Each structure stands twice: as structure tokens, then as C-alpha cells.
Amino acid sequence: MNDKFHTLTLLALVVLLASANQANATAYELTILGMSGVDSAAYAINNSGQVAGMNNYRATVWNGTTATDLGSGYVFAISNNGQMVGQSNGYATLWNGTSTTNLGVAYATAINNTGQVSGWSSAPDFGNAYYSVHTVHATIWNGTTATDLGTLGGMSSYATAINDKGQVAGWSYLTGNHSNINGWPITHATIWNGTTLTDLGTLGGATSEANAMNNDGQVAGKSFIVGDRAEHATLWSGTTATDLGTLGGDFSEAKAINNVGQMAGKSLIAGNGNWHAALWNGTTITDLNSFLDVSVVNAGWVLNEAYKINDNGWIVGNASNHLLGISSNAFLMSVAAVPEPETYTIFLAGLCLIGFMARRKKLKDDMA
């Protein structure tokens, strides 16, 4: 009798756990940003839900669906304080509201919540950093004071992320500035603590790049695997690299990581035909398009690339629509926990089942 009771109780608990998981399942709401008929891109989002990027090749910040034009250029990052950095008229630029600060002939890619900025700028006597063919060095700005972070021995380095501890991530050429078998320059994902560099290595291939870093020092990016015939999204914890896999194609890339460890980016789907925006929870990859309503898919929308994910799990990136002739349109995927009505019925049924079995067992025990 006891064994049977325990078995039934276990089954009821399974029902309860399943319904609880369903109640906590994440639902996403898609918002298409940008002006109809022009190219737009959402490159950044902060924890308040402000989105930044470009609209018709003009730097733009969105509060909800209200867009503010910041002038010519692109915004690549926005802090929780609302400060933004990016590129304007060939110069690295810092925005405080609509006020701008010129950081020089450089490229600003990231800003932390203390106002430090990272990016890259021209190495001495080497042209304009706006064009990546020139020699550039990873750079950190404190105010308008720029510090050259150096390289891993090669001619150039690039900083793409900065966390609130002032750690910087990106990539650097190695000594010799060689290329791999595909003609790609050999670069390694890199962390800078001040001017101290750490080579993060690869997944066995020749090259790797870091795109994002959270406050725990976890780094997300991409690396060629053994043979250099495929490139996979990669997570580094210290110098330990983890292959995050793909959506079936040969290439994927993690563009962002938040402070709870979720990552977002893109992957080729099976057959290497199209890029789809992707979300990683640990090493589990999910196509963001799988969260879209059927009506949205039927209307022609495809989420191609995710650029940032905030600590609430909200994601921004680029979408396309072949039916409307749109190749690049900013999108926001906002998150809400939406329990389905039948979840409550299942949950209450499970509770009633456990209660009924407990009472039944007590009655039989009393009669024994």
C-alpha cells in the first residue's frame, strides 16, 4: 500500500512541476522599430528598455516606439544611465542625451555604467581608425583621456566590450600577423585588465574573437573549430572555451551576454542558407524565430541577428521581410512571464490529487 501511495504521489508531483514550469515559461513580444521603407538597426539596449542604434543611417534612441534622432551616425552601446557611444562623421562619439562629445579619430563600441568607454583608435602615424585596414589599437577612454591597451604582438587590436569593473574584451592580432588557411587574419579573443593582456585561445582553430563580456568576466564571441572550416559561437570562462553550437549550419556567433549568463547572436540554419537570430541559455541554443506568432511569420518577418540582451532578457537586433522588400529593420523582443489559463487548472488538479491521496491513506491506516 505504501509503495503504491508513494508512486501516485510522485506522479502527482511530476504534474505539479510540469505545470509550474509551464507557468514560468517565457513569452516574447515582438516590436518592429524604425521607419517604414528605410534601413534601421538596433545595436544596444539597457536595463530600462531604452534601445539605440541607427534609423536611415542616423544615430537613434528609442523610448518605447518613440524615436529620437541624434544626428548622422550609429549608436553601438547604451549604459543604464542613458549614456551612449558610437560613431558620428568618422569620429568616436559620446552622447549625453542629445549633447555630444568627440572622442577623436577612433571607433567607440561599448560603455559601462561608470562612463568608461572602449573601442579602438589609430596607432601612432597610421591613418584613420574608421577604416579597419589601418593599424589600430584597442583603447579605453576615461572622460576624453584615451589609453592605448596594446596588442598580443601583432599590429592591431580591437576592443568591443567593457564591464563595470573596467575589464575590456575584444581581439588582437598575434605576432607575425599571419592568416589561416582561409585567408582570415589570425586573431585571438583577448581580455585586458588595465594594460595586462590575456589570450583566451580558440576552440582548436586558428582564430577567435570576443564580442561581449559581463560583470563576472564571462566572455562571448566566436571561434574557428579544428580544421578552420566552421566557426562556432563561443563562451569563455577564464581561458576555458565552450563551443555553443549552431542552429544546424556551419557558422554561429554570440554577440552579447548579460549578467545572468544568457547570450544572443546569430547562426546559420541547416543548409547554411540563412542567418537566424539565436538565444543561448547555457549551451542550449534556440532560434528566436520559434517564438514568433504564426501571423508574424506569415507576414514575412524573419529575425536575422541579435545584437544585445539586457539583464531582463530583452533582445534587440535586425529583422528582414522579403514580402515588404526590407533587408534590415530594427526589432525588440521584450519578455513577460505569461501563464496559460489551463496551467492553473492542471496545478489545482495536482494539489487536489495529492490531498485526496493523503486523506485516503490516512483513512485506510485508521481502519487497519
Give which of 261, 310, 298 is closest to 282, Cα–Cα.
261
Give which of 218, 213, 242, 248 is closest to 230, Cα–Cα.
248
Which residues lie closer than 8 Å to 313 by C-beta, 6 or more apart? Answer: 26, 258, 260, 262, 335
At 181, list the grid cell: 588557411
Count other C-beta atoms under 10 Å from residue 270's C-beta: 11
* pLDDT tens, residue by residue, 249-300: 999 999 999 999 999 999 999 998 899 999 999 999 999 999 999 999 999 9
Give which of 104, 96, 47 is closest to 75, Cα–Cα.
96
Give the whole-angstrom CA distance, residue 172 versus residue 161: 13
Element holding 298 (H helix, E strand) = helix 294-298
Instruction: List, as one string, the DSSP characters of 85-97.
Output: EEEETTEEEEEET
Q: What is the pLDDT of residue 364?
A: 55
pTM, rounded to two decimals: 0.83
Give the whole-angstrom CA distance, residue 75 versus residue 124: 26
Q: What is the pLDDT of residue 13?
A: 40
* pLDDT tens, residue by residue, 155-212: 999 999 999 999 999 999 999 887 776 777 899 999 999 989 999 999 999 999 999 9
At 357, list the grid cell: 491521496
Tell whether the model's pLDDT for residue 340 goes beyond 90.
Answer: no
Q: Per-residue confidence at 25, pLDDT binned at 50, 70, 90? A: low
Q: What is the pLDDT of residue 183?
A: 73
Identify whether the C-beta of residue 256 lies closer than 8 Å to the C-beta of residue 224.
Answer: no
Name the residue with cell 568618422: 90
Which residues lie closer than 8 Å to 58 by C-beta, 6 or more apart? Answer: 69, 70, 71, 72, 73
Give which of 229, 199, 223, 201 is closest to 211, Cα–Cα.
223
* pLDDT tens, residue by residue, 193-203: 998 999 999 99
Give the whole-angstrom CA distance, residue 303 versus residue 329: 9
